[in-house]
């Protein structure tokens, strides 16, 4: 149990997807201008990461390994994630229209989001068990959402600030990300 808690916080805070592993930078800079859309994007990524981990783990361990086809990992995972996102999108559209209106436009963007594929690779490379993979995915998704929300909060304020002209917009967002990363560096101590 303590192992699972360590994995969760390790993924969410210490090895944060965006700030340490540099995965999912496109939504991090693209969808972090407004708090509302940042939250929706974060939740959509969290959802897809967890489902993708739950599906790719059995595929790798019960299908690819027995047939000695581990080298097919990249191809299979990309296809699985792409079709998964489609299925999730269609299911949400049929069952919950409010949720679809909130998350709908973000789901297709996630197909080519390296955060999702990256997490499935990390789960395999770290030799996580099934439950550990799910917890790792939950932690990574939670960490992603957290950072996206913090970033959008800062950027909403930055719009009113007056940085040097050359830094306005994207450059100052990168500098902000640096300071955010420095803050998250302090979490390194919480896990041995």
Partner 1 sequence: MHSFTKNFLRGIIRSNPTFILLLGLCPTLAVSTSLDNAVGMSVAFTCVLLASNIIISLIRNHVPVRVRIPVFIVIIATLVTIVDLMLQGFIPALSKSLGMYIPLIVVNCIILGRAEAFASKNSTTNSIADALGIGIGFAWAMILISLIRQLLGTGKLDLFGRHLFTVPGLGDNPVAIFLLPMGAFFVIGVLLALFRWMGVSTGE
Q: Interface with partner 1 by CB under 8 A: which residues?
A: 19-26, 29, 71-75, 78-79, 82, 112-114, 117-118, 121-122, 125, 164, 166-167, 169-175, 177-179, 181-182, 185
Nearer to partner 1, 19 or 107 (CB): 19
Q: Which two tokens stand for residue 111?
A: 């197909």
What's the min distance (Å) between Cβ of 121 and partner 1?
5
Q: How many CA atoms lie within 13 A of 61 on its CB side?
A: 16
All residues at 6 or more sequence positions from 153 whose CB lies less than 8 Å from its CB, including other chains:
35
Closer to partner 1 at the Cβ: 104 or 118?
Answer: 118
List the alpha helices (DSSP H) in the chain: 2-9, 25-30, 35-58, 73-95, 97-103, 107-110, 114-125, 130-158, 170-185
The nearest distance, CB 91 to partner 1, in angstroms, is 19
Nearer to partner 1, 1 or 125 (CB): 125
The answer to whether the beta carbons of residues 149 and 38 sit under 8 Å apart is yes
Residue number with CB closer to partner 1 (102 or 154): 154
**Inter-residue contact 32 to 151 (CB < 8 Å):** yes
């Amino acid at each position: 149990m303590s192992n699972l808690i360590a994995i969760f916080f390790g993924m969410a805070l210490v090895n944060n997807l965006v700030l340490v592993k540099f995965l999912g930078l496109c939504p991090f800079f693209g969808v972090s201008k407004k708090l509302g859309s940042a939250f929706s994007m974060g939740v959509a990524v969290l959802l897809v990461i967890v489902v993708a981990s739950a599906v790719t783990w059995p595929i790798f361990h019960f299908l690819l390994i027995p047939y000695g086809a581990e080298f097919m990992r990249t191809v299979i995972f990309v296809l699985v994630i792409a079709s998964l996102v489609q299925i999730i999108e269609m299911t949400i559209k049929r069952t919950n229209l409010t949720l679809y209106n909130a998350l709908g436009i973000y789901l297709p963007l996630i197909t080519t989001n390296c955060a999702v594929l990256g997490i499935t690779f990390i789960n395999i490379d770290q030799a996580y068990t099934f439950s550990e993979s799910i917890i790792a995915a939950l932690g990574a998704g939670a960490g992603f959402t957290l950072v996206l929300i913090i970033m959008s909060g800062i950027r909403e304020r930055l719009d009113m600030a007056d940085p040097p002209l050359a830094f306005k917009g994207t450059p100052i967002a990168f500098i902000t990300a640096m300071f955010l990363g420095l803050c998250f560096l302090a979490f390194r101590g919480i896990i041995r």
